[in-house]
Amino acid sequence: MNLYKTFRNPLALASISALLLWLSFPKFNFSFLAWVAFVPLFFSLRNERFSKTLLFSFVAGFIFFVLTIFWLTHVTIPGMFVFSFYLSLYFVIFGLGFYLIKKHHSFWLPLTFLPALWILLEFFRSTLLTGFAWVLLGYSQGPNLLALQVADLSGVYGVSFMVMFVNVFVFKVLSRNKGSRNYRDCSFIAPLLVIFLWLGYGLYRVMEDPGKTCPVKVSLVQGNIAQEIKWVPSFQEEIIKRYELLTELSYLKEEPDIIIWPETAFPEYLEFDGTDEPLKELAKKIKTPLLVGSIRIEEMRYYNSAILFSAKGTVAGIYDKLHLVPFGEYIPLRKYLPWVERMLGIEDFTRGPGYEIFSVPASKYGIIKFGVLICFEDTLGSMARTFVRKGADVLVNMTNDAWFGDSACPFQHLEASVLRAVENRVFVLRAANTGVSCFIDDTGRVIRRVHDDRGKATYVTGSETGLAYKTRRSSLYTQLGDYFVFLSGVYVFIMIFFSRRF
C-alpha cells in the first residue's frame, strides 16, 4: 500500500478527518485531535470541483456520525443510518461554504467565515425538528478545561468556533505558498495571539476563586436497572427495594441534605395519594428530602417528571419535562402516521406547564435552589440558562441512558452537562440510572462520580455523596444567551449575499 498516494487521495483524506473527529469524543477523549481533525478534509476539498466537494464533505460527515452515534443501533439500526444521513447534510453545507471561499486570497476571511458558518450549522442542527444538540465540536473539549472556559462568554458555540478557528489556521499555515505575501509578512502571528488569549482566559477562570457559598450535601443514587426489566411488573418490588436500600445506606453513612434518584427511577406510574405512598414513607423514614424521577399520571395524561418529597413526606414540588423526545415520548403528526403508531406502540407524553425551581435547606447555611433537566434536556443550553435566570443555584440532570447499552452514549451525554456548568458558572449534579452519575463544578471539572473498585462508572450499582455550592461568579452567556451565534449568522449572510469579494 502506497501511503503517499493514500494521503493524497481526497476520499481517504475525508475519511481520515471523520476518524480523527470521532477519536476526539468519548470514549476515546483525545480532545486535541479535534484541533486538526478538519485539516485533511480541507486538503481533500481545496482542488475539487463543486460536485466532488459536496461528495467528500458528505462522506466525512456520514462516517463520523455513524461511528459516533452507533449506540443508536440498540434502539433502531435503520434509524441510525437514516439519522446519520440527515446529520451529514450539515457537513455538505459546510463543504459548500468552503467551496465559496477557497479561491479567495484573503488570509483572514476563511479564519472567521468558516468557524462562523460551522457554529451557525450547529445551532440549526440543535434546534430544527426539535433539535439534536449532540457531539457539537465544543463538546470534544470536555477534558480540556482551559479550552472550555470561554463558554461562559459565548456558550458551547464559542468553544466550537475556536476549535474550528484552529483547524482553519493550521490548514492555512500548511497550505501556504512560501513565496506569497502571507508567508513573508507572517500573518499567522495574529491568529496565534487569538489562540493564546483564548487559552489564557481559560487559565484565568480555572485559577480564579469561584466564591463558593452555601454548601449542600447531596447523595446521588445509581440503581443500574437494565432497560429490559425496568417496566416488567414482576421486577417492580425488587427495583424499589434496591433504591430504598441505596437511599437508606446513603442516609446512615452520610446524612445528606437531599438524595437524588435518576429519571423514571420509580418503576410504576405514579399517582398522588396512591402509588406514591412508598416514596412518602421513605422520605419520612430518613427525614431527608428525596428528589425522584418518575412517570406520573394526572387526569389521564402522562408526564415525565421530577418530584421532590420533603423530609416530612409531603410533595414539595413537581417539574414536568418540557422538551419531549420525538418518537420516544410522543409521535409527531400521530394521526397522519398510523403505521408509526402501530410500530412503536407508545402513548404521547404531555409537555410540562413551565420551569419549576426546587428549594432545599442546606444544613445550617440557608436555602439552595435546584433546577432539574430531565434526560436530554441538558443538551439544550437555552434551557439550562433559563433555569439559572429563574433562580437556580445548582442544576440537576436526571437521565436514563440504559436504552443505548454500555456504549459511548453516557460519556458523550456527560459532556453536555460539563458545558452547562461552565456556561452558567454553576455546579451540575447528574443522577443517571446506569451512569455517569457525578458532581461537576463550575469550571467543568468532574470532581466525584459513582464507580466500582476498578473505576468503572457505567453499569455499576452504587451511590456517591459530595458537596455542591452556590458560586458568586457571573456569566455573560447566562445574561445574553446565544448572541454569539446570532452575530455569526449575520456575518455569514453578509459575506454570502452582500460582499463583492465572492
* pLDDT tens digits along 230-285: 989 999 999 999 999 999 999 999 999 999 999 999 999 999 988 999 999 999 99
Catalytic residue among 214, 375, 409, 438: 375
**Statement to judge: residues 306 and 393 lie in one domain:** yes
The three-state DSSP-derived secondary structure of 208-262 is CCCCCEEEEEEEEEECCCCCCCCCCHHHHHHHHHHHHHHHHHHHHHHCCCEEECC
pLDDT for the residue 1:
46
Q: HSE-up of 451 (CA within 13 Å, CB side)?
A: 11
Instruction: Please state, in angstroms and rounded to a whole number, the distance separating the CA atoms of residues 476 and 492.
Output: 23
**Statement to judge: residues 80 and 146 lie in one domain:** yes
**Statement to judge: residues 191 and 275 lie in one domain:** no
Q: Is pLDDT at 495 greater than 60 in this prediction? A: yes
**Statement to judge: residues 412 and 323 lie in one domain:** yes
pLDDT for the residue 496:
85
Q: Give percent of the chain above pLDDT 90.
A: 79
Instruction: Please state, in angstroms and rounded to a whole number, the distance separating the CA atoms of residues 275 and 309.
Output: 14
DSSP-assigned beta bridge partners for residue 330:
326
Catalytic site residue 214?
no
| Mean pLDDT score, 3-23 | 85
244, part of any domain:
yes
**Statement to judge: residues 306 and 335 lie in one domain:** yes
For residue 26, the enclosing domain spans 3-208+483-497
**Statement to judge: residues 173 and 224 lie in one domain:** no
pLDDT for the residue 435:
86
134, part of any domain:
yes
Q: Is pLDDT at 4 greater than 70 in this prediction? A: no
What is the per-residue pLDDT across 286-308, written as a single tens digit (0 to 9) for each?
999 999 999 999 988 999 999 99
152, part of any domain:
yes
What is the per-residue pLDDT across 94-143, written as a single tens digit (0 to 9) for each?
999 999 988 776 788 899 999 999 999 999 999 987 889 999 999 999 99
pLDDT for the residue 181:
54
Q: HSE-up of 183 (CA within 13 Å, CB side)?
A: 8
pTM exceeds cut of 0.85: yes
**Statement to judge: residues 26 and 142 lie in one domain:** yes
- Mean pLDDT check: name the lowest of 228-237, 357-366, 445-454: 357-366
Please tell me the total number of residues recorded for the chain in this structure.
502
How many distinct structural domains can be found in the chain?
2
Pick the more confident residue, 445 or 349: 445
478, part of any domain:
no
| Mean pLDDT score, 365-382 | 94
Catalytic site residue 208?
no
The three-class DSSP label of residue 377 is helix
Could you tell me if 399 and 377 are in contact, meaning their C-beta atoms sit under 8 angstroms apart?
Answer: no
**Statement to judge: residues 167 and 263 lie in one domain:** no
Catalytic residue among 172, 230, 280, 321: 321
Catalytic residue among 263, 356, 377, 464: 263
CATH number at residue 326: 3.60.110.10
What is the per-residue pLDDT across 304-322, written as a single tens digit (0 to 9) for each?
999 999 999 999 999 999 9
**Statement to judge: residues 34 and 110 lie in one domain:** yes
**Statement to judge: residues 221 and 312 lie in one domain:** yes
**Statement to judge: residues 32 and 70 lie in one domain:** yes
Q: Which three cell numbers stand for residue 311?
A: 423530609
The three-class DSSP label of residue 355 is coil
Q: Is pLDDT at 186 greater than 80 in this prediction? A: no
Q: Who's near 357: CB < 8 A, 6+ residues apart?
A: 317, 369, 370, 371, 387, 390, 391, 392
pLDDT for the residue 316:
95
The three-class DSSP label of residue 470 is strand
Q: Is pLDDT at 345 greater than 60 in this prediction? A: no
**Statement to judge: residues 134 and 262 lie in one domain:** no
Residue 385's alpha-carbon distances to 134, 322, 328, 480, in angstroms, are 18, 14, 25, 9
Catalytic site residue 271?
no
Instruction: Please state, in angstroms and rounded to a whole number, the distance separating the CA atoms of residues 343 and 348.
Output: 14
Nearest-5° angle of CA 423, CA 424, CA 427? 110
